[in-house]
Structure 1
Amino acid sequence: MEQTPSDAPSPHGTTKDIIRKGSIITIITLISRPLGYIREAIQAYLFGATFLVDAFIVAFNFPELIQTLFFSGATSAFLIPVCVRYMKDRDDYSAIYSTFINLAIILTASLSLLFFVFSNVIVGLIAPGFSHEAKTITKLLFIIMIPVIALHTILSVIKAFLNAKEHFAAPEMSGILWNFAFILSAILLRHQFGIYSLAIGVTAGSFLQIVMQVPYLRKFDIRYHPILSLKHPAISEAKRLFTGALIATSIVPINSFVGRIIASYLPQGEVASLAYAFRIFILPFSLFAVPIYTVVFSKLSKLYHEKDWKGMHSHVDSSVVLLAVTLIPCTILLCSAGDAVIRILYERGAFTAKETLMTNRALFGYSIGLLFYALSISFVRVFNSMHDMRTPAIVGITSIIINAVLASLLMVPFKNLGISLATSIVSLYNFAMLYVLLKKRTRYALKRTTVREITRSLLAGIILLFAIFLVRREVTESPWPLICIAAALTALIYGVFFRNYYLGLLKRSR
């Protein structure tokens, strides 16, 4: 099978198509993220920072971690490439959808039953320092939220089958519904159930997320049947891909976990500063990178099934350009004005200028690797679309070792900056390795036009950095003027540099 790249545009999609579909996810994220902050603010207002909230957080984090690592995290990675093969046969598509739904129910229900039986043991492991009263409350909260494992896994299966049909809105909007259910439960049920109202909101919201998908499943004629077609070829293919997908999608949370362990040897406050910094760092990633690679992943899976290498290379190039154009200015803003962002978001009460300085150090280390962080995850999806879970898994396992070594070495002279720098360096390593391996396998290489757009974005970023430096010399007091001026400069400079690029997208959309 000959695999030859082409500079010719693919008839299967354009950059404009990625923007159009990805913008839906971006808009939903812009609504969902602030709603998440409101949810946390209401939780803090109603219950404060007491042992009750500690119990809820511990009880919630465990089932959330289990389903994220072992079920929902890997589901899209291996299911979308599998199910696109059967999209043209409506009955077959519904049959494998039903089979995977039923498998998810059987596996997660069995696991949930085990968690219920051994809930005392689990609470003892996840909350060893809690008092007897706190452990009792944690156990009840944990039992109420055990169904979340099954419900989120079912939602992940539904999301994969809808994404394969290039429908992204409903699965993403379900997060907004979950936040509303949590908030309403906390407000309306707090007098009757106290802290348990939060757990009720978590489980009820997770159920409503699934209910919300039903009209869209009907719209795309995806029907559920009580069947279990274990001899279907899709099942054997999914079994082959699952282990690699599980390993590959676990790399990022494992690296974060290792980083937190290493950071525990640093002075007080360093671990918290890394968490605050990462929350800011991940916002531009969620707004721009996630929509891009989510849309492209579904498209690449179809193109691979059709063996359209020109189309695949064209879509990879488009995603690289979009990531560069959106994330390079975000990198510049976070590196040059990150302290102003931190002051606006966090600097009040016990969070003083000292904590701002500490958090900004960590944010700088994360931010310089923002583009590579996004590219590495995007290229994992490229391999996933080609039914190759093994390559990203191997690269990811080596990155865990490199991350642990680098974080241990760099934290000595640089403290939390060293740990966040290790994350950026490992992201660069992951992207470089996956790019080289993809080039070797498919003869893919960045087009000259792609390299030119990346270079222009870098040049615009350098000018932006210099402009913000000049502004900072004049604006030193309030963070708001600096942020507003920096945002205006970003829009102006990138608007000038990419005017023709944007106009071209508008012409192609007519």
Structure 2
Amino acid sequence: MSGAEGAPAAPGLLRSSAVVGVMTMLSRVLGLVRDIVLAAFIGANANADAFFVAFKIPNFLRRLFAEGAFSQAFVPVLSEYRERGGEAAVRELLDRVAGVLGGTLLLLTSLTVLAAPLVAGLFAPGFLDQPAKFALTADLIRVTFPYLLLISLTGLCGAVLNSYGRFAVPAVTPVFLNLSLIGAATVAAPGFAEPAFALAWGVFTAGVVQLLFQLPFLKRLELLPRPRWDTTHPGVRQILRLMVPALFGVSVSQVNLLLDTVLASFLPTGSVSWLYYSDRLAELPLGVFGIAIATVILPSLSADRAADRAERFTHTLDWAVRTVLLVAVPATVALLVLAEPILVTLFQYGELGPRDVAMASYSLRAYALGICAFMLIKVLAPGFYARQDMVTPVRIGIRAMVANMVLNVLFVVPLMVYLDLGHVGLALATSVAAYLNAVLLWRGLRRENVYRFDPAWRVFLPRLLGATAAMLLLVLWLSPPVDAWAGWGWQRRALELAQLVVAGGGAYLAVLRLAGVRLRDLRSPP
């Protein structure tokens, strides 16, 4: 990349992205350990389906009220108050936002706990003809839903810390959810008649711990919120105005995944769990790299916009797109080729059997096809939110959601009828809709002359594709037959998979280096 090659981004973005990426990697590795434990303890049976639905509901809404729509609306306003109003104005804004956000979510949580069967019927209508499964889902929702309140307040704290350049603390906070669920499954579950309840209480405990963990760091900045209900504050009104459309724009992929869960509840038992395990693996590169870069560019883009630095705004977006593709493209190819070996190595123990792994591998490949789109959405959407343009992503988001619904019908029905793979149709529809979303975001930024391709793309893209092709050929050459993996113990599986990952990753990086790509070419300018 002697020229990935144009001006990259604002100062310190690569370094900050690396910090967030490393911390997120720690969390994601523990997340894999968590999912391995869950697969061994509850597998992919009816009770597992019930827990995953109850866990997904607050997790989905978290993406809206915590690091999703709320963060995208809050960070630009906070940056504006810092730029123009000073620390006193920031503290006043923070107190009011904490009061309104906390009060609203407390009311929503109380209503949901009281009306848990209605919520279960809304999000998993396919469970209605299975009374025991439906009742368990409703009971689990009563325990897991308060996590939304706790994690949203944690997200508020994290957004403030990110805005002040403290990226490591919010990035490492999710570790506590994984540790809590691992502890719940291995230590607490034997004491419960229904192990799924131990996991639900593990989710609740994690919310408490994550919030308490961040408060001392806010206190150190003298920004510990003193919640006050005040919907008349101009900053609160501005955030609410920006947040309502952002609920659609920034969370389209999550809405699509939730629609998958609703539709999967009508499919054969195990479908929700197969989608969960495959989605978790597909989200690994997205969480470690896509979200890490999106997290650090939003404050930078917001500051550039407030200071009218249009050229640096454009360079930052282009830098982010090229950087995520360096990870997204090889990650897509690796998951397509190694879907079954990865799932066998990580999950085929205890309650999760060979059929479950085979079914999850199909949906993993379908999700993998969308990784580039998912990551591009994460870095392109901040280009709108930093400019406080929430309307355009809303329009794009609605079009993508409608397309996803249509594609669900087109893909699920034939795959279910002829191949008994309805859940794969759900994953494939989500990936295709994500590409539509990403293309429309890119086109909108181009049309407004906010984002332009750097000339470096002419050399960057062939180098990226060449390195990925070399990785693919080497992995195909070294891979043992798929049937052999199931007969090995976990040590042999782990060793073989590690060798493939190291060899493939090494080939990819070596070819990039030979082609002229250097890590220093991605550094931010001084």
Q: Calculate the TM-score normalised by the size of structure 1.
A: 0.84
The yes-or-no answer on 1:103 pairing with 2:100 is yes
Of structures 1 and 2, the one scoring higher in RCO (CA 8 A, sep 6+) is 2
In structure 2, how many angstroms separate the alpha carbons of the residues matched to 1:365 and 1:315? Answer: 30
The more displaced of 242-251 and 467-476 is 467-476
- Structure 1 position 101, deviation (Å): 0.4
Alignment of 1:297-446 (within 5 A): 297-348=298-349, 355-411=356-412, 412=414, 415=421, 417-446=424-453
Distance of aligned partners of 1:182 and 1:383 in 2 relative to their CA distance in 1, 3 Å threshold = same
Note the C-alpha offset of 1:91: 0.8
Moved more, 416-425 or 214-223: 416-425
Residue-by-residue CA offset, 1:467-503 (whole Å, 9 max, x unaligned): 3333348998446536513531332332232364325
Matched, 1:90 2:83: no
Please say if residues 144 and 200 of structure 1, whose CA atoms lie closer than 8 Å, have aligned partners that are also in contact. yes
Kindly indicate whether the alpha-carbon contact (under 8 Å) linking 1:347 and 1:356 is maintained by their aligned counterparts in 2. Answer: yes
Q: Which amino acid aligns with 1:365?
A: A
Distance 1:491 1:44 in 2: 30
CA deviations over 1:179-199 (Å, ceiling 9, x no partner): 334555677766877766555
After the TM superposition, which residues 277-292 of structure 1 pair with which residues of structure 2 at under 5 Å, given as runs?
Answer: 277-292=278-293
Structure 2: runs of 5 or more not aligned: 486-492
Task: State yes or no: 1:502 paired with 2:515.
Answer: no
Alignment correspondent of 2:177: 178
Shift of 1:431: 1.6
Corresponding residue number in structure 2 for 1:75: 70
Q: How many residues align?
A: 500
Q: Counterpart in 2 of 1:12?
A: 10
Contact 1:293 1:381 in 2 (8 A): yes
Q: Do structure 1's residue 115 and structure 2's residue 130 form an aligned pair?
A: no
Matched residue, 1:158: 157
The 1:163/1:507 distance shift into structure 2, 3 A limit, reads closer
**C-alpha distance 61-255 of structure 1, shift in aligned 2 (>3 A):** closer
User: Is contact 2:116-2:138 (8 Å) kept?
Assistant: yes
Counterparts in 2 of 1:258 and 1:353: CA distance versus 1, 3 Å: same
| Equivalent residue letter for 1:253 | Q
User: How many Å apart are 1:399 and its aligned residue?
Assistant: 1.0
Q: What SS does the aligned partner of 1:32 have?
A: helix
Q: Which amino acid aligns with 2:20?
A: I
What is the match of residue 4 of structure 1?
A: none
Give distance in 2, aligned partners of 1:388 and 1:345.
42
TM norm structure 2: 0.82
Q: 3-state SS of the aligned residue for 1:87?
A: helix
Instruction: Tell me which residue corresponds to 1:491.
Output: 506
In the alignment, which residue of structure 2 is the partner of 1:33?
28
Are the counterparts in 2 of residues 28 and 173 from structure 1 also a CA contact under 8 Å? yes
1:341-393 deviation digits (Å, cap 9, x = unpaired): 22212345675555544433333332233212211232122211111111111
Rounded Cα–Cα distance in structure 2 between residues aligned with 1:354 and 1:48: 11
Following superposition, the deviation at residue 285 of structure 1 comes to 1.5
Contact 2:66/2:156 (<8 A) preserved: no
Deviation at 1:154, TM superposition (A): 1.3
Hey, what's the Cα distance between the residues in 2 that align with 1:400 and 1:133?
29
1:349 and 1:398, CA in 2 relative to 1: closer, same or farther beyond 3 A? same
Q: Give the aligned CA root-mean-square deviation in angstroms.
A: 3.7
1:3 corresponds to: none
8 Å CA contact 1:162–1:168 kept in 2: the answer is: yes
Give the residue type in structure 1 aligned to 2:81: Y
Q: For residues 473 and 144 of structure 1, what CA distance do their matches in structure 2 show? A: 44
Using the alignment, how far apart are the partners of 1:390 and 1:177 within structure 2? 35
Residue deviations 1:60-106 (CA, integer Å, cap 9, x gap): 55444444445653211111111111124111111101110011122
C-alpha distance in 2, partners of 1:48/1:221? 46
Contact 2:61 2:148 in 1 (8 A): yes
107-116 or 323-332, which moves further after superposition?
Answer: 107-116
In structure 2, what is the Cα distance between the partners aligned to 1:248 and 1:362?
Answer: 25
Offset at residue 334 of structure 1 (A): 1.4
Q: Aligned partners of 1:375 and 1:132: how far apart in 2?
A: 41
Report which stretch shifted further, 233-242 or 471-480. 471-480
Residue by residue, what CA displacement relative to the aligned partner does 1:417-454 show, whole Å, maximum 9, x if unpaired?
A: 54433333222221211111101112521101134213
| Equivalent residue letter for 1:471 | L
Cα gap change, 1:100/1:325 in structure 2, threshold over 3 Å: closer, same or farther?
A: same
Aligned to 1:454: 461
> Helix, strand or coil for the counterpart of 2:456?
helix
